[in-house]
Amino acid sequence: MNDKYGRKINYLRISLTDLCNLRCKYCMPENGVGKIEHDSIMKIEEVIKIVKVMVKLGIDKIRLTGGEPLVKKGIIYLIEELNKIKEINEITMTTNGILLYEMAENLKRAGLSRVNISIDTFDKEKYFDVTRGGNLEKVLKGIEKCKEIGLTPIKLNTVLIGGFNDDEIDTFVNYTLENEVDVRFIELMPIGQASDWHKEKFISNQIVLDKFKELIPVKSEDISSPAKYYKLPVSKGKIGFINPVSCNFCSNCNRIRLTSDGKIKPCLHTNEEIDILTSLRRGEDIRSIIVNTILNKPKEHELNENGFIPIIRNMNSIGG
Annotated binding site for S-adenosyl-L-methionine: 26, 67, 118, 189
CA angle 68, 207, 253 (to 5 degrees): 50
**Residues flagged as binding site for [4Fe-4S] cluster:** 20, 24, 27, 250, 253, 267
Relative to beta strand 181-187, strand 154-160 is parallel
Hey, which residues does 14 pair with through a beta bridge? 64, 258
**Residues flagged as binding site:** 13, 20, 24, 26-27, 63, 67, 94, 118, 155, 189, 250, 253, 255-257, 267
Cα distances from 86 to residues 34, 113, 152, 319, in angstroms, run 37, 14, 21, 24
91 class by beta-carbon count within 10 Å (0-12 exposed, 13-18 middle, 19+ buried):
buried
Are residues 111 and 91 in contact, defined by beta-carbon separation less than 8 angstroms?
A: yes
Q: Which residues lie below 8 Å from residue 126, measured CB to CB, with a gap of 6+?
A: 164, 165
Cα 277 from Cα 288, distance rounded (Å):
13
DSSP string of 239-290? EEEE-TTTS--GGG--EEEE-TTSEEES-TTS---EE-HHHHHTT---HHHH
**Residues flagged as binding site for GTP:** 13, 63, 94, 155, 255-257
Query: E strand or H helix at 138, and its extent?
Result: helix 136-149
Radius of gyration of the chain (CA): 19
Are residues 186 and 315 in contact, defined by beta-carbon separation less than 8 angstroms?
A: no
Cα–Cα nearest to 220, from 193, 257, 249, 255: 249
Q: Maximum distance among all alpha carbons in the chain?
A: 58
Query: E strand or H helix at 217, and its extent?
Result: strand 216-218
